[in-house]
C-alpha cells in the first residue's frame, strides 16, 4: 500500500487555509516502522479538526446588536461595518433579546413576510423611512415568539399597497410594543393581536393606522390580555378604528384596554368598539382624553360583560354617537363632550369621578 504523503508541501496544496503544526513531524525508525508516522498522522488529524471547526463556530455566532442597510448584503455578518440587507437575515444573526438597528431609507423585507420567533427589538432611530411592503395576500410582520418573549417594533412604515392582507399579526409571545409606526393600505386589518399565550400585553404609541379595508387595530386574544393605546390615530378604516374583542377568550380570563390622547376618525363602523358575551372574557375599555369623530358610530359596547368608559373625551360628527347593545355598557364621566352626532342607541350610563 502506498504511504500517505504528509509533507507540508502536500498539505498546503490540499488546504489553502492556515495550517497549525503541533510538534515536529518525524520519520519511521528501524524496528518501529509505524510509530512516528502514526503519531504524526494523529497530530495532523487533530490540527485539521481544529482548523475546520473554526469556520463553523464563526458561522454560528450571533450578534447582540445587528444592523441592516440599503447597501448591505444578506451574506454579511450583520454588524455595523458589514450590515445585512433584509430584516429576516438580521433576525437569523441576532441572539434572543437582541436588537436590530436600521441604518437608512429602504425597503427591508424583500417582498416577503418578516417572521419573528424570539424576543427582539427592531429599531429605526428616525430621520428616514424603514419600509415593509407585505406580499400580495400576505402579512408584513408575523410574530410567533415564545411565551416569555417581548417583541418591540419602532419606526417602521408598513404599507400594504392595497394588496397586502395585514400589516402586523401577533400570534404568540409575552408582549408586543409598537412605537412610531405607520400601518396602512391593507386589504384587511392593520394590526391583529391574536395572542394564544395565557397572558399577554399590547402597547401601541405614536402610531398611525389608516386606510385599511377592515379594522385599524383588532385585539382578540385567546387568553387574558392588557392593551394600552397612547397617541394612536386610527383613521379612515373600512371597519372599526380600534376593536377589543372578548369572544375568542374563556370567561375565566379578562381583557383590559386603555386608550389615551388618541383619535378614531372617519372609520366605516365604530371609532372605539368592544364586544363579548356572558360565556366569554369580559372586556373593559377606558377611553381618556381622546376623540371619536365622523365614524359610523363614535363609541360602541356590545354584549353582556362588554364595558366602554369615556372620560374627558369628545364624541362628535358620528352617524351614531353611542351604541350600547345586548347588555353592553357605554359609561360616561361628567366631563365629556358628546354632541353633534346623529342618533344614539341604548342608555348612556353616568359615572361619578372618585
286 grid coordinates: 377606558
- Say if residues 311 and 290 touch (Cβ distance below 8 Å): no
pLDDT digits (tens, 9 = 90+) for 53-99: 444 334 457 999 999 999 999 999 999 999 999 999 999 999 999 99
Instruction: Quote the pLDDT of residue 37.
Output: 40
Has residue 307 been placed in a domain?
A: yes
Angle at 298 between CA 294 and CA 301, to 5 degrees: 160
Q: Where does the pLDDT of residue 42 fall: very low under 50, low under 70, confident under 90, or very high at 90 and above?
A: very low
Is residue 88 assigned to a domain? no
* H or E, element range at 41: helix 35-60
C-alpha cell at 112: 416577503
Q: How far apart are CA 316 and CA 225, in angstroms?
A: 30
Q: Going by C-beta distance under 8 Å and a sequence separation of 6 or more, which residues neighbour residue 81?
A: none
How many other CB atoms sit within 10 Å of the CB of residue 32? 10
Cell numbers found for residue 174 = 409575552
Q: Is the pLDDT of residue 7 over 50?
A: no
How much is the pLDDT for 204? 99
29 and 124 in a single domain? The answer is no
Rounded Cα distance between 6 and 340, Å, is 93
Retrieve residue 253's grid coordinates. 380570563
37, HSE (Cβ side, Cα atoms, 13 Å): 12
Does residue 208 belong to any structural domain of this protein?
A: yes
Which residue segment(s) compose the domain that 44 sits in?
Answer: 8-57
Mean pLDDT score, 169-173: 98
pLDDT digits (tens, 9 = 90+) for 192-246: 999 999 999 999 999 999 999 999 999 999 999 999 999 999 999 999 999 999 9
C-alpha span between 280 and 223 (Å, rounded): 10
- If asked whether residues 195 and 144 sit together in one domain, one would say yes
pLDDT of residue 30: 39
| Selection from 208, 132, 140 nearest residue 168 by Cα | 140
Please tell me the total count of domains within the chain: 2
With contact defined as beta carbons under 8 Å apart, do 246 and 279 qualify? no
Could you tell me if 46 and 127 lie in one domain?
A: no
Measured in degrees and rounded to the nearest 5, phi and psi for residue 176 equal -130, 125
Place of cell 508541501: 9
- Residues whose CB is less than 8 angstroms from the CB of residue 9 and which lie 6 or more positions away in sequence, other chains included: none
Contacts of 25 (CB under 8 A, 6+ apart): 6, 8, 40, 43
* 144 falls within a domain: yes
Q: Looking at the structure, tell me whether residues 46 and 110 fall in a common domain.
A: no
Amino acid at each position: 500500500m502506498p504511504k500517505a504523503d504528509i509533507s507540508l508541501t502536500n498539505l498546503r496544496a490540499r488546504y489553502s487555509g492556515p495550517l497549525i503544526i503541533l510538534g515536529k513531524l518525524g520519520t519511521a525508525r528501524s524496528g518501529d516502522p509505524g510509530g512516528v508516522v502514526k503519531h504524526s498522522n494523529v497530530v495532523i488529524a487533530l490540527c485539521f479538526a481544529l482548523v475546520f471547526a473554526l469556520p463553523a463556530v464563526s458561522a454560528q455566532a450571533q450578534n447582540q446588536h445587528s444592523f441592516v442597510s440599503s447597501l448591505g448584503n444578506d451574506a454579511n455578518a450583520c454588524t455595523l461595518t458589514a450590515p445585512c440587507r433584509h430584516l429576516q437575515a438580521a433576525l437569523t444573526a441576532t441572539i434572543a433579546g437582541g436588537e436590530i438597528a436600521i441604518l437608512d431609507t429602504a425597503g427591508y423585507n424583500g417582498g416577503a413576510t418578516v417572521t419573528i420567533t424570539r424576543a427582539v427589538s427592531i429599531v429605526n432611530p428616525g430621520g428616514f423611512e424603514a419600509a415593509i411592503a407585505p406580499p400580495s395576500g400576505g402579512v408584513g410582520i408575523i410574530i410567533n415568539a415564545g411565551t416569555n418573549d417581548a417583541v418591540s417594533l419602532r419606526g417602521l412604515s408598513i404599507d400594504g399597497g392595497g394588496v397586502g392582507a395585514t400589516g402586523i399579526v401577533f400570534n404568540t409571545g409575552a408582549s408586543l410594543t409598537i412605537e412610531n409606526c405607520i400601518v396602512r393600505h391593507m386589504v384587511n386589518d392593520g394590526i391583529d393581536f391574536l395572542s394564544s399565550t395565557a397572558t399577554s400585553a399590547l402597547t401601541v404609541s405614536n402610531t398611525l393606522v389608516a386606510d385599511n379595508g377592515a379594522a385599524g387595530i383588532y385585539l382578540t386574544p385567546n387568553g387574558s390580555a392588557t392593551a394600552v393605546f397612547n397617541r394612536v390615530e386610527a383613521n379612515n378604516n373600512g371597519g372599526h378604528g380600534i376593536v377589543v374583542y372578548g369572544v375568542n377568550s374563556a370567561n375565566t380570563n379578562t381583557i383590559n384596554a386603555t386608550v389615551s390622547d388618541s383619535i378614531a376618525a372617519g372609520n366605516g363602523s365604530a371609532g372605539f368598539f368592544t364586544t363579548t358575551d356572558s360565556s366569554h372574557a369580559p372586556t373593559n375599555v377606558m377611553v381618556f382624553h381622546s376623540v371619536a369623530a365622523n365614524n359610523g358610530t363614535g363609541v360602541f359596547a356590545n354584549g353582556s360583560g362588554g364595558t366602554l368608559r369615556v372620560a374627558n373625551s369628545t364624541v362628535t360628527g358620528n352617524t351614531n354617537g353611542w351604541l350600547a347593545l345586548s347588555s353592553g355598557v357605554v359609561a360616561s364621566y361628567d366631563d365629556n363632550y358628546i354632541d353633534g352626532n346623529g342618533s344614539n342607541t341604548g342608555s348612556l350610563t353616568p359615572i361619578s369621578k372618585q
